[in-house]
Amino acid sequence: MRPNDDSNYSGRKRPISILGTLALGGLLAVLILNALALILFADGLAFGALDKLIAKKPTALQDFIKYYACGKIALSNKRADAYTPTNQIGQLKEILSGLDRTSLPKQYLFPTDYPPPVYPIMSILAMLPINQALGLWWVISLISAVVGAYMLRQQRLGETALLLLWSASSLAAWRTVGMGQTSGIILGTVSLFFYCFFAKRNIGCGIALAISILKLQYAPFLLIPLIVAKRWLAACIAGLVVLLLTACALVLMGPQILLSYFHAVIKVEATDPYLATMICLKGLLSYILPEPSLSALSMLGMIAGIISCTCIWKYSICRSLETQLWAASFTISIALLASLHTQNYDLLLLTVAAALTIPKLGSRKPYRRLSSPLLIWYILLTSFPIISWLLTRITFHGYFWQALGFFLFLLTITITALLNMLQTNNQVFAVKEQSEATLSC
């Protein structure tokens, strides 16, 4: 599957110097130590250190705790009022009081607007004590990420390990763990979505898309390739799974939950306290535009992103597999750039773009033959962990320059993905040939 492998290149193989070997070995050692530190940190939280962390840093793991609260609400006799702020705050107080917190941080006073299917899903975790639920959360996240990356890298274990070590060294991975975010699960489901899309496995493709509603803002972008490719079975399966999950929420919590959800979304989008930390178009515009102009222009920006994604897939769907891999990478980057809610931990999704486009190990494509857009793409992706940490060190003038830095990084990634797609081998396939283009393993 890997583009640009150039396996026929017959150039002379240069011997690797001892210094280069030591440097690569040192880099690998650092990546492994970072991954071990991340795993030990997560395990420590799941096995007794959660109370101490919350006591020291009250806002740690706030996203997981909010998800956990959704499950608790779904199991309570107040489930019909799931989106009522007093109900949510009361449940959060109860959870945090069990973690030796007597006061509720201001970050918890803001209501949540997670989709209704989240409640029955999280009720399974809420049956466990919070430490055990957190441990299971990490296990699910890790398995999801590993399986997704393994399939995208054509079941090459070594490449999968390097890819995940690289990803784990980024700020996005550490923030995912520190906040208890769903980014690890979404990384796995989006990876499986594109694997199943290219392998023509419609059932898996639809199920993966349905699970991605945990990050609802990205689902419309993922739906585009299914519509353009006329994968109606996959789209219908995704819709059916979402309907079943929604039906579970309605049965468990009552039909009025849908209306309450839409009211909660409107309120949250208008008064989101985390708007200034977003790295998408909406976050950047929030520094110069008031409501309601901000919401209107942000929505237009998202619509423009979806339209551009549609045009990209219409262009690429009947062309080479390599072209479609770049279209998939463009889809990920434009979704991060134009959606209504993107935080820096969501950049973990760039792991999928790397898995789709970075050549396999052992490729001997000479450095001098790389085009400028491809060279920029490789440099930005491989240095992303370092860039992610450097940008978060920008703290003067609030979050503006930090948000601008991430926005420009995403914008450059998006443009280079487009340019690389246009530079690929773009002969139009015959219909029969196109139907046989798969992600072979």
Q: How far, CA to CA in Å, does 319 sit from each of 153, 202, 227, 427?
A: 22, 20, 16, 6
Q: What is the pLDDT of residue 335?
A: 96
Q: Is the pLDDT of residue 86 over 80?
A: yes
Distance of CA 387 to the CA centre of its chain: 18
Q: The tokens of 387 are what?
A: 């860039």
Residue scoring higher pLDDT (423 or 432): 423
Q: With residue 11 as reference, give the H or E element that holds it.
A: none
Comparing C-alpha atoms, which of 303, 268, 267, 273 is closest to residue 286? 273
Q: Which of 320, 385, 325 is nearest to 353 (CA)?
A: 325
pTM of the predicted model as reported, rounded to 2 decimal places: 0.86
| Residue 440 pLDDT | 36
Please give the pLDDT value at position 257: 85
Report pLDDT digits (tens) over 42-80. 766 666 667 777 777 777 788 888 899 899 988 888 888
In the chain, pLDDT over 70 holds for what percent of residues? 85
Please tell me what DSSP assigns to residue 57. -
Q: Is the model's pLDDT at 434 over the cut of 60?
A: no
pLDDT of residue 46: 62
Going by C-beta distance under 8 Å and a sequence separation of 6 or more, which residues neighbour residue 292? none
Is the pLDDT reported for residue 131 higher than 90? no
Closest CA to 383 of 341, 416, 354, 342: 354
Per-residue pLDDT, 112 = 81
Mean pLDDT, range 294-316, rounded to an integer: 94
Structure tokens belonging to residue 427: 């002969």
- Residue 437, pLDDT > 60, answer no
d(CA 409, CA 209): 26
Cβ atoms 374, 342 nearer than 8 A: no
Lowest mean pLDDT among 106-120, 170-184, 232-246, 318-332: 106-120
Mean pLDDT of 350-370: 75
Helices H, strands E: what count in the chain?
21, 0
Per the prediction, the chain carries an average pLDDT of 83
HEC string of 368-437 equals HHCCHHHHHHHHHHHCHHHHHHHHHCCCCCCCHHHHHHHHHHHHHHHHHHHHHHHCCCCCCCCHHHHHCC
Q: In b/e form, how buried is each residue of 419-430, taking b as 16+ CB within 10 angstroms?
A: bbbeebeeeebe
Q: What does the buried/exposed string (b/e) look like for 329-356 if buried means 16 or more CB atoms within 10 Å of the residue's CB?
A: bbbbbbbbbbbbbbbbbbbbbbbbbbbb
Sign of the dihedral through C-alpha 102, 108, 393, 376:
positive
Residue reference for tokens 């990478």 = 329
